[in-house]
Structure 1
Amino acid sequence: MSTTKSCTSVFDFYGKPPLTKALPLSLQHILAMIMGTVTVPIIVVGAVDAPLEDKMALIQISLIFSGISTLIQLYAIGRLGARLPAIFGVGFAYVPTLTAIGSQYGLSGILGAQVAGGVAMMLVGLFTKRIRNLFPPVVAGSVVLVIGLSLYDIAIGYMAGGIGSPSFGAPLNWGIALGTLLVVLFVSQFCSGFLKLASIICGIGAGYLVSMNAGLVDLSPIDEAPWFTAPRPLAFGLEFHTAAIVSMVIICVVNSVQTIGDLSATTVGGMNRELDTRELSGGLLGNGFSTIIGSFFGALPTSSYSQNVGIVAMTKVISRVVLALAAVFMLVAGFIPKFGALMTTIPFPVLGGATVLVFGMITMTGIQLIIKDELSARNLTIASLSLALSMGIYAMPEAIARFPETLQLVLGGSPIVVAAAVAFGLNLILPRKSLADEEEERRQIEIKLSE
């Protein structure tokens, strides 16, 4: 339609609403994505024990590439980009793999492996039509479930004050963390409108104020940070290690499954139609491209943001102008180091209290995906075995201490890799039997036993 009304409608992907209408709606997406974007680099830098300046630099470049990757998805460059109302940025799903690689090979090892991971994403995008049926809900759900479970130790460590902190486990840390969590819960469950969507930021704000009064906030990094800086290519270097590359490729392929689900939810929930192959392929190609380019500047791998998908499905607001404003905000914020420095002053207990619920939600999302499939003996075997082996090795890494070093990193560094390999392999090997087939099989066994 080409009417004036449709051209300014927020319910039209190509609609161009006035700023007075678009900005408040864009704020919802900014609030939903901002903390996820800055928290991941903070966690990764903590795992590799990098200096403060590296932490601020990673936050900046993560913001910049979150903006860039989102704009690619909204407006597309050739085949790159889905041209759908989707937000992309650095995702929590990568955290266990990134921290495992980082603790072994540092930031340069992460970024080198990320190049291969981005290539793997693009290959998935090119062959989407042929391989889409290889990742049914039981496989994707098993992996997402393990992602959530593997993040709990990070959240609890932060709530206690940050591993290695002299005050680790102190009652004050737990008090601040639990207070932050209570604010998040109250706002998310008892408030409405923009405030409800901003529950995590409300919790962080409350926890931050209490931390300041308790003397736990150091504002000196803000004073020392400049007002403007530009990202430098290869500032952290690139190193290529086989074990790191294998782990990263697997998690990037697994994350592509999540992207497929998020883009499908966007079109079904927000646009009342199914996702077409071109959009899916473009989304995966665009995500892989931004991940590869980001590697050369220090940006961590990007993925679709499920929380923003939920906003689109709930509001039906699909104008790309609304989402583009959020992307531009992230882009501009990334060039202002003082903003990144402000994020580094958030105490660990506040971060832990604000994110533990997010990690729990990831776990429940995995369960919801699993039960989309029939809970047949076959599917229960896939889910239970991938969960048992992945979390078992993760809980007791010394069990594989005599394996080659490369294999130790691949299997023990991230439970997601084990879960993905087991779920994917079993899905290919095990006979496909529905609940009806299994019931018939039991009936036949009963007949034979009674003869």
Structure 2
Amino acid sequence: MKKNIQNSSIFEFYSRPPLSKALPLSLQHILAMIVGTVTVPIIVCGVVDASLEQKMTLIQCALIFSGISTLLQLYSIGKIGAKLPVIFGVGFAYVPTLTAIGAKYGISGILGAQLIGGISMIIVGMFIKKIRRLFPPVVAGTVVLVIGLSLYDIAINYMAGGIGSINYGSTKNWLIGFITLLVVLIVSQFCKGYLKLASIFCGILVGYLISILFGIVDFSPIKEASWFAFAKPFEFGMDFNASAIISMVIICVVNSVQTIGDLSATTMAGLNREITDDELSGGLIGNGVCTLISSIFGAFPTSSFSQNVGIVAMTKVISRYILGLAALFLLLAGFIPKFGAIMTTIPYCVLGGATITVFGMITLTGIKLIIKDELSTRNTTIVSLALALSMGIYLVPNSISQFPNWLISIIGDSPVILAAIIAFTLNIILPNKSLKDEDNERENIDK
């Protein structure tokens, strides 16, 4: 990545393409992640029985710190930030832990535990150079692979209309979802130039217009949202409870493995190289710093967004100016709630149709990472066991219904966490035998 601010190429990190070309490429990053970002505080508010005012404040904070965390990763401050084309924001992977803590200790209990969790992320980032050997491509690739696989049900539920909607599974939702998907495919495969790279944006735009014609777009959030709002520190308080802190630290450390996978996938798919130690350390430290500071204002933990990694992998667009615009729009949406409310009016079926191909790209990126290592018996055992156990339990959640609640909250709702634990553990304890070593063993057996 040669630093050249005069470069206008969208395929260079240190570039500044014209706004007319950068804007649609930036917007599709926002559209791919904004619903997931605002959904986290909405779910938590339902558990803690928060007021409408508290809900709007938490949504506002989620958008603001999603923008801040992304800008920090793109431009970095010293050793804080990866300086890679990635989108960070309030992470959906934390939801099971957040709801478990919130139900028992409230929002203040979540934020107190989150502050300690952010510190644990920073510690992992500081020592990642020394422990990076514990996360070879076979481990990081397995995590990325499971990330992709675990997102498929989200895309399908979106295309069906979103879980809990009164018209879930209707033919109207599926029709709009497939039209959106068809537009994405046509534009990405048959068009050329910048239009081709903005295929997801084009699909969402067409799907949204059709949704308006079908009368399924709800504009009430725009009317209800205020024009300006500002976050206040310690508005929700902060309590420290041992069990909540332990659960949060575990999920934060494990999520760091997911971040390693996403950052590795970004450099592999977008920059055609492996990630450096400094980039990895900066990314993890930056995520920890944002998670820590955001707890003071009421935003929940941040993490990398895998669907945006998929967009980078699919388009190869890595200009930080383009992703920086997305971050600025998130900040704007946070300070001007009416702007953010417009984004939330996009129907789930449109988002599902536009992003399902992106999730597939994440899966393929994970496979590419895995095959960078030798496909020895040892490595295939790591991948197969992590994949089978994590996805198996995810598909059959009742199989661990008798486990302690704290353990279910860690491994039951997120196959990524279990896959990371299994792959990490097996990589440490299994003998490190190469294909050549295995061939020699077979030859000795014959003798």
TM-score, normalised via structure 2 length: 0.84
Q: Deviations over 1:166-187 (max 9, x none)?
A: 2222211211122222122222
1:99 partnered with 2:92: no
* 1:140–1:369 contact (8 Å) kept in structure 2: yes
* 2:226–2:338 contact (8 Å) kept in structure 1: yes
Same amino acid, percent of matched pairs: 51
**What residue in structure 2 maps to residue 35 of structure 1?**
31
Q: Deviations over 1:291-345 (max 9, x none)?
A: 221233315413275357559x94675xx66654554343233321111111221
Structure 1 residue 80, shift from structure 2 partner: 1.9
**What residue in structure 2 maps to residue 382 of structure 1?**
382
* 1:386–1:418 contact (8 Å) kept in structure 2: yes
Q: Deviations over 1:178-203 (max 9, x none)?
A: 22221222222222332222222222
Structure 1 residue 27, shift from structure 2 partner: 2.7
Structure 1 residue 238, shift from structure 2 partner: 5.3
Pairing partner for 1:8 from 6, 11, 16: 6
Q: Distance in 1 between matches of 2:58 and 2:283?
A: 24
1:253 partnered with 2:256: yes
Distance 1:259 1:356, change over 3 A: closer
Q: Distance in 1 between matches of 2:115 and 2:138?
A: 28
**What residue in structure 1 maps to residue 393 of structure 2?**
393
* 2:265–2:365 contact (8 Å) kept in structure 1: no
Amino acid in structure 1 at the alignment position of 2:258: N
Amino acid in structure 2 at the alignment position of 1:98: Y
Instruction: State the SS of the aligned residue for 1:296.
Output: helix
Length, aligned pairs only? 430
Structure 1 residue 98, shift from structure 2 partner: 2.6
Q: Distance in 2 between matches of 1:67 and 1:361?
A: 24
- Comparing 233-242 and 418-427, the one that deviates more: 233-242
Counterparts of residues 108-127 of structure 1 (less than 5 Å): 108=107, 111=111, 113-127=113-127
Structure 1 residue 140, shift from structure 2 partner: 0.8
- Comparing 202-211 and 100-109, the one that deviates more: 100-109
Q: Deviations over 1:257-289 (max 9, x none)?
A: 1355257559955xxx98654444333222221
Q: Deviations over 1:342-362 (max 9, x none)?
A: 122122222222222222222
Q: Distance in 2 between matches of 1:334 and 1:23?
A: 22
Q: Distance in 2 between matches of 1:394 and 1:39?
A: 23
Q: Distance in 1 between matches of 2:5 and 2:212?
A: 47
Distance 1:429 1:401, change over 3 A: same
Q: Distance in 2 between matches of 1:388 and 1:274?
A: 27
**What residue in structure 2 maps to residue 90 of structure 1?**
89
Distance 1:307 1:23, change over 3 A: farther
Distance 1:163 1:324, change over 3 A: closer
Amino acid in structure 2 at the alignment position of 1:100: P
* 2:138–2:371 contact (8 Å) kept in structure 1: yes
Amino acid in structure 1 at the alignment position of 2:385: L
**What residue in structure 2 maps to residue 69 of structure 1?**
69
Instruction: State the SS of the aligned residue for 2:142.
Output: helix
Q: Deviations over 1:352-402 (max 9, x none)?
A: 222222222222221221111111111110000001111111122222222
Q: Distance in 1 between matches of 2:250 and 2:228?
A: 35
Instruction: State the SS of the aligned residue for 1:432.
Output: coil
Q: Distance in 2 between matches of 1:81 and 1:139?
A: 23
Instruction: State the SS of the aligned residue for 2:215.
Output: coil
Instruction: State the SS of the aligned residue for 2:304.
Output: strand
Structure 1 residue 137, shift from structure 2 partner: 0.8
Amino acid in structure 2 at the alignment position of 1:405: N
* 1:10–1:16 contact (8 Å) kept in structure 2: yes
- Comparing 71-80 and 258-267, the one that deviates more: 258-267
Instruction: State the SS of the aligned residue for 1:127.
Output: helix
Instruction: State the SS of the aligned residue for 1:421.
Output: helix
* 2:251–2:410 contact (8 Å) kept in structure 1: no
Q: Deviations over 1:427-447 (max 9, x none)?
A: 001111111111111121122
**What residue in structure 2 maps to residue 302 of structure 1?**
303
Distance 1:32 1:307, change over 3 A: farther
Instruction: State the SS of the aligned residue for 1:120.
Output: helix
Q: Distance in 2 between matches of 1:321 and 1:170?
A: 40
* 1:7–1:16 contact (8 Å) kept in structure 2: yes
* 2:85–2:318 contact (8 Å) kept in structure 1: no
* 2:291–2:301 contact (8 Å) kept in structure 1: yes
Amino acid in structure 1 at the alignment position of 2:304: S
**What residue in structure 2 maps to residue 287 of structure 1?**
287
**What residue in structure 1 maps to residue 405 of structure 2?**
405
- Comparing 421-430 and 110-119, the one that deviates more: 110-119
Structure 1 residue 221, shift from structure 2 partner: 1.6
Amino acid in structure 2 at the alignment position of 1:132: R
* 2:140–2:260 contact (8 Å) kept in structure 1: yes
* 2:66–2:302 contact (8 Å) kept in structure 1: no
Amino acid in structure 2 at the alignment position of 1:8: Q
Structure 1 residue 76, shift from structure 2 partner: 3.4
Structure 1 residue 90, shift from structure 2 partner: 2.0
Q: Deviations over 1:84-134 (max 9, x none)?
A: 35343227xx43x33323443448366555434432321122112201111
Q: Which runs of 5+ in 1 are unaligned?
A: none
**What residue in structure 1 maps to residue 358 of structure 2?**
358
Q: Distance in 1 between matches of 2:357 and 2:158?
A: 13
- Comparing 54-63 and 374-383, the one that deviates more: 54-63
Structure 1 residue 205, shift from structure 2 partner: 1.6
Structure 1 residue 153, shift from structure 2 partner: 2.0
Amino acid in structure 1 at the alignment position of 2:369: L
* 1:228–1:335 contact (8 Å) kept in structure 2: yes
Instruction: State the SS of the aligned residue for 2:421.
Output: helix
- Comparing 168-177 and 116-125, the one that deviates more: 116-125
Distance 1:7 1:103, change over 3 A: closer
Q: Which runs of 5+ in 2 are unaligned?
A: none
**What residue in structure 2 maps to residue 159 of structure 1?**
159
Q: Distance in 1 between matches of 2:25 and 2:406?
A: 40
Q: Distance in 1 between matches of 2:323 and 2:395?
A: 40
